[in-house]
Copies of this chain bind each other. A is one copy, B any other.
Amino acid sequence: VTGQPSDTVVRAWARLQRAQQATLTEVDRALKAEQLPSLDWYDVLLELERSGEAGLRPFELERELLLAQSNLSRLIDRMAAAGYVARAACDEDGRGRRLSLTEAGAQMRRRMWPVYARSIQAAVGDKLEAAEAETLAELLGKLISRP
């Protein structure tokens, strides 16, 4: 059992929630203003692009993006309907599927990045010195590590 959190820890927690909410809202707003898909879609497109020719299994994407099974299944439904993702049967496991990026999907990701990048810079880069951003990334890394 762990002890009670200090005031400082509670403050760090509260600000983590608030800072994420504020920055995400800003990025979402910018993408929407340009008639582009949401960040969820970008995350999927990027992971599939990184996976290259082999593609990814849905369960791999779930773990990478911390999404629930049914949530991802329906997200892929929508992205496949939009023509950005292809679903194929899986050779090595008959239960599974293999997801891959379409050319239209790759194009959309490239189209989204400049807008996304500007938002990140406005929400984070413009508010911190380089050394501060480095420290922030390091401290947040400690919160992510699996114990």
A4 at the interface (CB under 8 A from B): yes
In the complex, chain B residues whose CB is within 8 Å of the CB of A143: 19, 22-23, 123-124, 127-128
In A1-38, which residues have CB < 8 Å from any B CB? 1-6, 8-13, 15-25
In the complex, chain B residues whose CB is within 8 Å of the CB of A137: 8, 11-12, 15
Task: Please name the residue on chain B nearest to A20 by beta carbon.
Answer: B20
Given contacts A121-B3, A124-B143, A128-B142, contact A133 B9 (CB under 8 A): yes
In A107-147, which residues have CB < 8 Å from any B CB? 117-118, 120-128, 130, 132-137, 139-145, 147
A82 at the interface (CB under 8 A from B): no
A140 to B143: give the CA distance in the assembly, Å: 14
A81 at the interface (CB under 8 A from B): no
In the complex, chain B residues whose CB is within 8 Å of the CB of A126: 2
Given contacts A125-B2, A127-B143, A143-B123, contact A134 B8 (CB under 8 A): yes
Which of A3, A19, A122 has most B Cβ within 10 Å?
A19
The answer to whether B132 touches A5 (Cβ under 8 A) is no
The answer to whether A17 touches B13 (Cβ under 8 A) is no
The answer to whether A5 touches B66 (Cβ under 8 A) is no
The answer to whether B121 touches A4 (Cβ under 8 A) is yes
In the complex, chain B residues whose CB is within 8 Å of the CB of A18: 66, 140, 144
The answer to whether A140 touches B3 (Cβ under 8 A) is no
A144 to B128: give the CA distance in the assembly, Å: 11
